[in-house]
Amino acid sequence: MTEDWRDDRTDWRHDRIGAALRGENPTVLRRLSAGFAVIGDVQFLPGYAVLLTDRPEVQRLSELTRPQRTAFLADLDRLGEAVERVCRRLDPAFRRVNLEILGNTDGFLHAHIWPRYAWEPAELVGGPVWFHPRTHWTAPEHALGPRHDPLRRALGEELDRL
């Protein structure tokens, strides 16, 4: 993945939620009840997805009302299950999904859905995905692209079934 977009203030990645609300975020898989299911910008763990809130001003889960929290977490469950089903079908080495709400870098509410695989290096497979080498996050071969269209389609169709 190239970092050139960081210099272009008009790039949709500078306002992922606003771009999703405007229909301009190309990573959106589906609009859910409390946010957007998006495929991750990097795919070194194929199937990586993110749930974005549909409220750009919200930074923390605790800023939502109880019903809004419930809706967001229900969307997280739905997206997590879709990732699990698709990844299990596509790769027999699929192990599980990790669900994370972090918010340390991006200042808007979002949740990561990371599929985990038996083929990951032994020293990494049992730890957090963030221990993967930094090069995995920036290498062109891991950047989301047209070769991920079948995966994108499968995730969207699974979300529709759920």
Confidence band, pLDDT 50/70/90 cuts, at residue 4: low
Whether the predicted pLDDT of 49 surpasses 80? yes
Cα–Cα distance, 63 to 72 (Å, whole number): 12
Cα–Cα distance, 46 to 115 (Å, whole number): 7
Confidence band, pLDDT 50/70/90 cuts, at residue 2: very low
Average pLDDT over residues 40-65: 96
pLDDT of residue 13: 74
pTM of the model: 0.92
Average pLDDT over residues 15-37: 95
Confidence band, pLDDT 50/70/90 cuts, at residue 3: low
Confidence band, pLDDT 50/70/90 cuts, at residue 12: confident
- Domains parsed from the chain with CATH numbers: 4-161 (3.30.428.10)
pLDDT of residue 23: 95
**pLDDT tens digits, one per residue of 55-110:** 999 999 999 999 999 999 999 999 999 999 999 999 999 999 999 998 778 889 99
- Residue-averaged pLDDT of the chain: 92
The DSSP annotation for 114-153 comes to: EEEETTS-HHHHTS-GGGS-HHHHH-GGGB--GGGHHHHH
Quote the DSSP letter at residue 108. S
pLDDT of residue 17: 93
pLDDT of residue 105: 82
For the chain, the C-alpha Rg in angstroms (whole number) is 15
